[in-house]
Amino acid sequence: MGNELIDKYVLFRHRDVENIHQIEVYRANDGYRALEKALKEMQPGDVTNVVKASGLRGRGGAGFPAGVKWGFIPKDIYPKYVVVNADESEPGTFKDREIMTYNPHQLIEGIILTCYAVGAETAYIYGRGEFAPVFRDHLQQAVAEAYRHGYLGRNILGSEFSMELHLHLGAGAYICGEETALLSSLEGQMGQPRSRPPFPAVEGLYAKPTVINNVETLTNVPPIVLHGSDWYRQYGTEKSPGTKIFSLSGRVNKPGNYELPLGTPIRYLIEECGGGIIDGKAVKGILPAGASSAIIGPDKLDTTMDYEAMAAAGTMLGSASFIILDETVDAVWAAEKNVKFFKHESCGKCSPCREGTFWLVNVFRKLREGHGTKQDVELLETIIEQMKGNTFCLLGEFVVPGVRTSIDLFRDEYEALAVAEEETTPGPAKDLIHTFF
């Protein structure tokens, strides 16, 4: 049961209990007991308080304390909504898909508890369009079972509390993982972010108070409510309590999802869980938060995977999607892949992101095709400097740390590509302008 670092899985309970996706099996293994406990013994505010006390932080990337977020919901405005972010689109992240496929009831129970805590009667799970089979074959069945057993619908378990849970699929847009863009999309608009304030807690879906949390975040809620905050805090660190799912990919022998206590060293994830690097090669770089990451080098392998330590190491934990580069990987190629991703996914709303990613892709292409000059490496640095802090939403500048750290860590590889003669005209090269028109 569990793994070497946790006795029993908190989130990936399907790895301990076979067929836990079936409601009978889930119920026979403490399933929906937290909900029964909440409806019988707890006021809504008590649920928020235990989640606050647990220190559970948002698992979508920002790490904001979930209970505190719920506390922002105004009491006297109705209706209220809970929206679950299942847009999982960050390259390297594939944890929510596993939860929804194999342990859907724990997520559903978490959603119901959240609705009870904040007084919402309607919840939506917004999944990326590519999750259509996950929704159709797994989540939809689980939701239907929950309705049949009286955990959803009118007067849940004989209480005064009623709620509806709906599934909604996006249609292919990374930006919809940004919470205000997700709301625009759910309202039937293009998925473009909105300005904040007003924050979704006050004016969210249909301009009503809305809690938005990630799938993994809400999957933590039933065990917290059932076993209490002290139990939850047995794992993790003081400021980053609990377990977390780490999605490990790239040049390791055993890529996959690993649930570990927050605060576990990166080295453990790569060597013990991932079985080390393919062909015994050396680690060259680590992207701890997918394509959005500042890259860190092998000197940071003993950093612990919690929000604070990762920030101190110059990067972030984000959604904990660890993409591992080994010594065989061309650093400029890897950076270009991510830059292309961000150009492809720019929503077009603000010019620093829309134009910035366009120019980055062009300069990378020029370098990689052998026409680069030293000025082009500087041009990359100028472009990201101009993007930094100037994009409309956070996702717009997610391209910046990867390029910045790639140049800082592997500058020799960039300079090795700057083979062409220096250009005499200042500003962007003519052939770059040409491609724009």
SS3 of residue 164 by DSSP? strand
Residues 6+ apart with CB under 8 A from 348: 192, 354
For the bound state, the minimum distance from the C-beta of residue 373 to another protein, rounded and expressed in Å, comes to: 26
Residue 223 or 402 having the CB closest to another protein: 402
Q: Smallest distance from the beta carbon of 181 to another protein, in angstroms? A: 11
Residue 103 near residue 245 (C-beta atoms within 8 A): no
CB 125 within 8 A of CB 165: yes
Cis peptide before 197 (omega within 30 of 0): yes
Tokens of 21: 């996706």
d(CA 168, CA 68): 26
If the CB atoms of residues 54 and 185 are measured against another protein, the closer one turns out to be: 185
**Beta carbon of residue 97, minimum distance to another protein (angstroms, whole number):** 5
Provide long-range contacts, Cβ within 8 A and 24+ apart, for 134-143: 134/97, 134/100, 134/101, 135/100, 135/167, 135/169, 138/21, 138/100, 138/101, 138/102, 138/104, 139/100, 139/104, 139/167, 140/167, 141/104, 142/21, 142/23, 142/104, 142/105, 142/108, 143/104, 143/108, 143/167
Least distance to another protein, CB of residue 249, Å: 4
Nearer to another protein, 171 or 419 (CB): 171
Indicate the residue among 166 and 196 with the shorter CB distance to another protein. Answer: 166
**Contact residues for another protein (CB under 8 A)?**
88-94, 96-97, 124, 128-133, 166, 168-174, 185-191, 206, 247-251, 255-257, 291, 321, 323-325, 329, 334, 337-338, 341, 344-345, 347
> Taking the complex as a whole, how short is the minimal distance between the CB of residue 323 and another protein, in angstroms?
5
DSSP-based helix, strand, coil % in the chain, nearest 5: 50, 15, 35
Pick 10 or 291: Cβ nearer another protein: 291
Does 198 sit behind a cis peptide bond, omega within 30 degrees of 0 on the bond before it?
Answer: yes
Query: Judged by CB, which is closer to another protein: 32, or 364?
Result: 364
Whose Cβ is closer to another protein: residue 301's or residue 329's?
Answer: 329
Q: Tell the smallest beta-carbon distance from residue 212 to another protein (Å).
A: 16
Residue 273 Cβ, how far from another protein at the closest point, in Å?
11
